[in-house]
Structure 1
């Protein structure tokens, strides 16, 4: 067993709780992204047993992080919403320079890459205006909500596998972020919600891991163009507005600088997946 993957999993799990930096990005920064994608692909094959020494410790770390930190994130969002959102905003924008370097924009992008980037940016921006408003826990588990939870989990899992896109950001776009994190409460877990969203995540891993590996291998620059666009578009979703109050503005500036500094620092250590 690669027990060092426990702390790596904890870092990935914490990042997947935050609508800013994805678990895939953390895997890149830790130097295990290629092995992570290969292990996910291998787990859903006849050689699945060979992947367990890598995946079991990683999974333990991720579960520990999800259970241990979800309520902290909820508390911050409920009691210090704007400064917390500006911290997330700093993380989102701070990761862009790393993606730009990985995409090798100056030498590799053509007009088509920029068009894809712009399209992805506009798509997420528009999507942010039409999805349900986030902020409350959804208590009614209707058929419609069940489909919504499943699809959110599916797309979030795809985001978790991609460097640059946050799975939590996808949940935020679908208006189920607070519902998902509240469901992970140790004292009163919402098992049905966990099962539905978790099923979407598992299905997403099964279907999307091979697809992501394929496009990153054969169409890396176009993939990065889309990722950068999705990240830039997510700024409009994460941005919470700002009150005309110095007592709010100053903490928001501080948390934004902290978030962006963390992302810039981590991103400076990685330039390519290959």
Structure 2
């Protein structure tokens, strides 16, 4: 891949992945599979190690430039930079839009998420095998973990920097796994709405800085954004590798756990809507039609994506 057209195409694929990553229930890893870049992405990510990072950074000295270039090539650095640029562009744009929808249309937005999650779970259930006690235990554990966390996190977890760091580690590592939505895990952890709002204010702060209108919003949002990204870096190098190892050693049990995690997470949008309805005084009976219609739309989107994708291989 050397031509400008190829790099633009890769950037657009990154935008598609980022758009999926920013929406609960849709996996950026699945989009990578559909677009034919998943294996290259995994190879590039797993090729990154401390030694190569040091070699790349040593390129700041002119005499080390040849070795730095070699290390950058070994980790497929150009591919990662362009792809991540596309992902970052989409995540910022989508989260800013989602933040607006959560403020103005929370019931429909969470209904849409519910449909995305339901259809994702239905599509992946065909890959689950529960023919051994170990696999049944893994499935039960995944379901209970997500189900209980969905109810507890929304009301009990804070938005402190340590919590944001852990959320970043879990969510970003999940973004490269087919079938697992990083944003869905943010919803389960009760951090999705907070991070979408933070990213939106961060972008507003950058715009204000560019226009010379002050940096208050930027100063307020830099700590959580940097903390989240730092957690994401840790997640890519630890959790993602751990899950990859688990898949290689106990594939069926790990898939059962991951898919059951998604099923258990169906509680998360319901909890969020219940909180919003309690705040507004509206009843579930009045909100149900909007929720259901949006859920149907979300489910339809996932089913269309699945129809155009190949069988997921872990």
Please indicate the TM-score interval, normalised by the length of the shorter structure. 0.7 to 0.9
Q: Which residue of 2 aligns with 1:142?
A: none
175 and 57 in structure 1: CA distance in 2 versus 1, 3 angstrom threshold: same
Gaps of 5+ in 2: 53-70, 206-217, 275-282
Give the aligned partner of residue 110 of structure 1. Answer: 132
The answer to whether the Cα contact below 8 Å between 1:18 and 1:168 also exists between their aligned partners in 2 is yes
- Partner residue of 1:13 out of 10, 13, 18: 18
Closer/same/farther in 2, CA of residues 196 and 36 from structure 1, 3 Å limit: same
Distance in 2 between the 1:148 and 1:209 partners?
A: 19
**Given the alignment of the two structures, is residue 123 of structure 1 paired with residue 145 of structure 2, yes or no?**
yes
Q: Equivalent residue for 2:232?
A: 201
With structure 1 as the length reference, what TM-score do the two structures score? 0.86
Displacement after TM superposition at 1:254 (Å): 2.0
Distance across 1 between alignment mates of 2:295 and 2:231: 32
| Per-residue Cα deviation, 1:78-108 (whole angstroms, up to 9, x for no partner) | 111111111111111111233233x263xx7
| TM, length-normalised to structure 2 | 0.76
Alignment of 1:31 with 2:53, yes or no, is no
Structure 1: how far apart are the matches of 2:31 and 2:72?
24
Equivalent position of 1:49 in the other structure: 73
User: 3-state DSSP class of the match of 1:184?
Assistant: helix
Alignment pair present for 1:234 and 2:258: no
Q: Deviations over 1:212-261 (max 9, x none)?
A: 3322333221111011110000001122347212xx33332221111111
Unaligned runs of 5+ in 1: 139-144
Aligned to 1:273: 313
SS of equivalent to 1:76: helix
Partners of 1:65 and 1:24 in 2: CA distance: 15
Paired residues for 1:40-189 under 5 Å: 40-44=45-49, 46=52, 47-50=71-74, 51-101=76-126, 103=127, 105=129, 109-133=131-155, 145-185=160-200, 186-188=203-205, 189=218
Q: 2:284 aligns with which of 227, 243, 252?
A: 243
- Secondary structure at 1:161's aligned position in 2? coil
SS of the counterpart of 1:175? coil
| Higher CA-based Rg | 2
Q: Comparing both structures, which one devotes a greater share of its residues to helix?
A: 2
**Which has the higher relative contact order, 1 or 2, with Cα contacts under 8 A spaced 6 or more apart?**
1
Distance in 1 of aligned mates of 2:312 and 2:21: 21
The structure-2 alpha-carbon separation of the partners of 1:82 and 1:197, relative to structure 1 and needing over 3 Å to count, comes to same
> What value does the CA root-mean-square deviation take over the aligned residues?
2.4
State the secondary structure of the residue aligned to 1:18.
coil
- Give aligned pairs, total: 262
The 1:109/1:157 distance shift into structure 2, 3 A limit, reads farther
Gap change, CA 1:252 and 1:125, over 3 Å in 2: same
Contact 1:94-1:260 at 8 Å conserved across structures: yes
